[in-house]
Structure 1
């Protein structure tokens, strides 16, 4: 019974995984504004939504291969490998082979906690929410002085992909543990 529930949870987790890596995990907007008395000039400096796969693509295009590879490996490859091995273990009849596979899944499960680390990094980025700076500047032009305020504001929000990926992490962990306990008992 635990094996069946664990397997179903892993399949459900896989269903959450796909939108979790494809949908935006967070968005960030940064705007700069210059107030000149009764007038104001405003421009967007950053307006970005990033998914896990979008982040990997962007890092790859910027030739940050190591960071892009690590995010891809720990957030995409290891979870897919883990789910594939649990599926193979479900199909295999040999109890000994099943236990070996699940023992391996448990050992890479420790490495797959790096996907949770990736989510934590995104949360750290989100801590910049509503960060703003303001400074008063002056331009001297001979007899004229122009005083203005220069300000910037950074807003960030959690995207839908964050919630799917977090749900994937938790349900996958629970499903794998249940499946493994069911195999050990039966």
Structure 2
């Protein structure tokens, strides 16, 4: 069990270190252009944003509810879950460990980080079928995707060690 928890600790620390660049680095670039006679290729729209920039844009364009949901489920809950898993792995008191561990599973079900990654990837794939729209996944997507995978693996490897009582 100790080896599993050491691996979980390492995975959780690495996943948390990937979360920040996953949230701040550009995740997707979209370019809408057309080939016009005489003029040639003309770009009508181009946007590159990170997850946090997207939240800010949504908030500033009166899509506050969506912005808050994305911020909560893709930023607050993943960060909170990571910190609590670190606590589970480092705290010695079994009763506290068990409560924290149960709480991680409760909030883990509300974490939309993995769903968000799949959504971005699906948006990317859907734009590839249209010649006027070009989409490119950027480094933020990779950081965020690896955060999701390592975080999930870290939680799965975490085990509780019930203390042995000697009478």
Superposition TM-score, scaled by structure 2 size: 0.89
Matching of residue 172 in structure 1 with residue 151 in structure 2? yes
Task: Return the match for 1:20 from 5, 19, 22.
Answer: 22
- For structure 1, list consecutive stretches of 5 or more residues without a partner in the other structure: 133-152
Aligned residues: 160
Cα 1:103–1:80 shift into 2, 3 Å: same
- Kindly name which structure, 1 or 2, has the bigger radius of gyration based on alpha carbons: 1
5+ unaligned residues in a row in structure 2: which ranges?
none
Pair 95,185 (structure 1): closer, same or farther in 2 beyond 3 Å: closer
- Residue-by-residue CA offset, 1:64-108 (whole Å, 9 max, x unaligned): 011111111111000011011112223322111101101110121
> Which one has the bigger strand percentage?
1
Cα distance, 1:42 vs. partner?
4.1
Partner Cα separation in structure 2 for residue 6 and residue 91 of structure 1: 11
Q: Which residue of structure 2 lines up, in the alignment, with residue 51 of structure 1?
A: 50
Show the counterpart of 1:9.
Answer: 11
Task: Tell me the secondary structure at the aligned position of residue 111 of structure 1.
Answer: coil
- TM-score w.r.t. structure 1 length? 0.80
SS in 2 for 1:131: coil
Helix, strand or coil: the match of 2:127? Answer: coil
For the residue of structure 2 that corresponds to 1:46, the secondary structure is: strand
